[in-house]
C-alpha cells in the first residue's frame, strides 16, 4: 500500500531508532520536501506560508483542509502526525477536491497552526485531521476508527528549586538545603494534584540538576510540568494545585458538530461501531477549532496497548486503509457542500 510505503520513507529520515524529526531541524525540512513532492505528483498546487506550513491545493473545494504534522518527538513512532499527512494527500488525490496541510512544530506547542490562526488566515472553511489514537480506547472497544469529541486543554511550564551546594561527605544531613529533595516532594505533589481532579493528568518529564556532580549536594533543580484536563475549569484547578506559571497554555476545544456527524455517518455506513472519545493529546485541530474553524478528528486504532511517542507505536494496514476511506468520503462531502 502506498500509504505504508510513504510512512516508511518518512520514518527512515531520522536514521533511527524511532522517528527523529524534531521541529526546526533538517529532518523536519526533509519530511516537508517529501510531502511537497507527493503533493505535486498528485497534481496539487503547493504553497509554503510564512511559518513554513505546507499546503497542497486541488482546483476544487480547496477551502476544506485535511492534514497533520511531520515533526516528531525524539525516537517517536511511524504514525504520529505522518499518518495524517500521508492519508491526507491520498484522500485529496482520490476525491479530487480539498487541500492538504502540513503544520510545522506540532510537538513543540503547535507552532505552525498557532502562527496560522494568529496571522488571521486565510483559514479553511473546515478542517479534518486523521491521527493515530495514541491511547488504548479503540483497541479495547474493538473498533478500527473513532471520532473525537473534544481535545483536552493543556499547560506547560517549569518549577525551579534553589538550595545550597555543598560537599556530599562533610555536610551533615540536618544542615543541608538540597534542591533535589525539594523537587522530589514537588513531583509527588504534581501527581497528587492530577489524581484528585476528574479526567486530569500531569507529568514531570524533565529534570535538570545543577551542578550535577554525584558527590555534590544539588543547588538548583528545574523540572518540567505538563498538565492536562478536559474542561477549562478543571485545568485552572490543576494549575493552581500544582502551583506553576504555564509558559504554553491551550484551552480545551470542542470539535464541530457537522464534520463530526459526517465522519460518524461514514463510519456507521461501513457497518462499524460509532465510537466517540475525547483526545488526551493536543493536536493542530484543537488550535484551528479554538480559532473558529469547524474541525473534527478521526482516530485510527493504536495497537500495542496505545503505546505512542515510541518506535513501538503501531496501527494495522487494514485499519489505516479503512480510515483513509472514511476520511476521503468525509472530505468529498464537506468540500462539495458550498
Which residue, judged by CB position, is nearest to Zn ion in the bound state? Answer: 81
Angle, CA 287 vertex, CA 146 and CA 81 arms, to 5° = 55
Q: Is 81 in the site for Zn ion (CB under 5 A)?
A: yes
Q: How many Å apart are CA 89 and CA 297, to the nearest integer?
A: 16
**Smaller CB distance to Zn ion: residue 81 or 153?**
81
218 binds Zn ion (CB under 5 A): no
The stretch near Zn ion (CB under 5 A) out of 77-85, 242-250, 257-265, 297-305 is 77-85
Q: 36 vs 81, which CB is nearer to Zn ion? A: 81
Report the residue number, 139 or 219, with the smaller CB distance to Zn ion. Answer: 139
* Minimum separation from the CB atom of position 106 to Zn ion (A): 5
Q: How far is the CB of 95 from Zn ion (least distance, A)?
A: 23
Terminal CA-CA length for the chain: 33
Range in contact with Zn ion (rule: CB under 5 A) among 80-88, 220-228, 247-255, 315-323: 80-88
Contact 231, 252 (CB under 8 A): yes
Regarding 80 and contact with Zn ion (CB under 5 A), the answer is yes
Task: Judge contact between 293 and 123, C-beta under 8 A.
Answer: yes
Q: How far is the CB of 18 from Zn ion (least distance, A)?
A: 14
The Cα–Cα gap between 194 and 322 comes to 36
Cell representation of residue 150? 473534544
Radius of gyration for the alpha carbons in the chain, expressed in angstroms and rounded? 22
Which is closer to Zn ion, CB of 18 or CB of 81?
A: 81
The three grid cell numbers given for residue 137, joined into one nine-digit string: 480506547
Size of the site for Zn ion (CB under 5 A): 2
Q: 58 or 308: whose CB is closer to Zn ion? A: 308
Nearest by Cα to 249 from 229, 268, 265: 229
Interacting residue ranges for Zn ion, rule: CB under 5 A? 80-81
Amino acid at each position: 500500500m502506498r500509504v505504508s510505503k510513504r510512512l516508511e520513507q518518512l520514518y527512515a529520515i531520522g536514521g533511527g531508532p524511532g522517528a527523529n524529526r524534531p521541529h526546526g531541524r533538517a529532518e523536519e525540512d526533509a519530511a516537508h520536501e517529501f510531502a511537497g513532492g507527493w503533493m505535486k505528483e498528485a497534481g496539487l498546487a503547493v504553497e509554503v506560508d510564512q511559518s513554513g506550513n505546507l499546503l497542497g491545493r486541488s482546483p476544487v473545494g480547496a477551502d476544506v483542509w485535511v492534514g497533520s504534522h511531520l515533526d516528531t518527538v525524539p525516537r517517536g513512532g511511524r504514525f504520529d502526525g505522518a499518518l495524517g499527512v500521508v492519508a491526507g494527500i491520498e484522500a485529496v488525490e482520490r476525491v479530487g477536491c480539498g487541500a492538504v496541510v502540513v503544520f510545522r512544530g506540532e510537538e513543540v506547542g503547535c507552532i505552525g497552526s498557532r502562527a496560522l490562526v494568529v496571522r488571521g488566515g486565510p483559514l479553511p472553511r473546515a478542517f479534518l485531521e486523521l491521527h493515530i489514537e495514541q491511547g488504548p480506547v479503540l483497541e479495547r472497544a474493538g473498533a478500527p476508527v473513532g471520532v473525537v469529541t473534544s481535545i483536552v486543554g493543556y499547560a506547560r511550564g517549569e518549577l525551579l528549586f534553589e538550595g545550597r551546594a555543598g560537599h556530599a561527605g562533610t555536610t551533615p544531613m540536618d544542615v543541608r538545603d538540597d534542591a533535589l529533595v525539594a523537587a522530589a516532594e514537588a513531583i509527588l505533589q504534581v501527581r497528587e494534584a492530577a489524581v484528585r481532579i476528574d479526567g486530569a493528568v500531569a507529568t514531570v518529564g524533565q529534570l535538570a540538576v545543577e551542578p550535577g556532580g554525584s558527590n555534590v549536594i544539588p543547588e538548583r533543580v528545574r523540572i518540567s510540568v505538563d498538565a492536562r484536563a478536559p474542561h477549562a475549569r478543571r485545568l485552572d484547578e490543576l494549575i493552581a494545585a500544582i502551583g506553576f506559571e504555564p509558559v504554553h497554555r491551550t484551552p480545551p476545544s470542542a470539535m464541530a458538530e457537522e464534520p463530526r456527524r459526517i465522519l460518524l455517518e461514514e463510519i456507521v455506513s461501513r457497518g462499524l461501531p460509532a465510537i466517540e472519545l475525547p483526545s488526551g493529546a493536543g493536536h493542530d485541530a484543537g488550535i484551528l477549532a479554538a480559532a473558529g474553524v469547524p474541525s473534527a478528528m478521526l482516530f485510527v486504532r493504536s495497537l500495542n496497548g496505545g503505546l505512542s511517542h515510541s518506535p513501538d507505536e503501531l496501527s494495522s494496514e487494514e485499519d489505516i486503509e479503512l480510515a483513509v476511506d472514511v476520511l476521503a468520503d468525509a472530505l468529498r462531502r464537506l468540500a462539495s457542500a458550498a
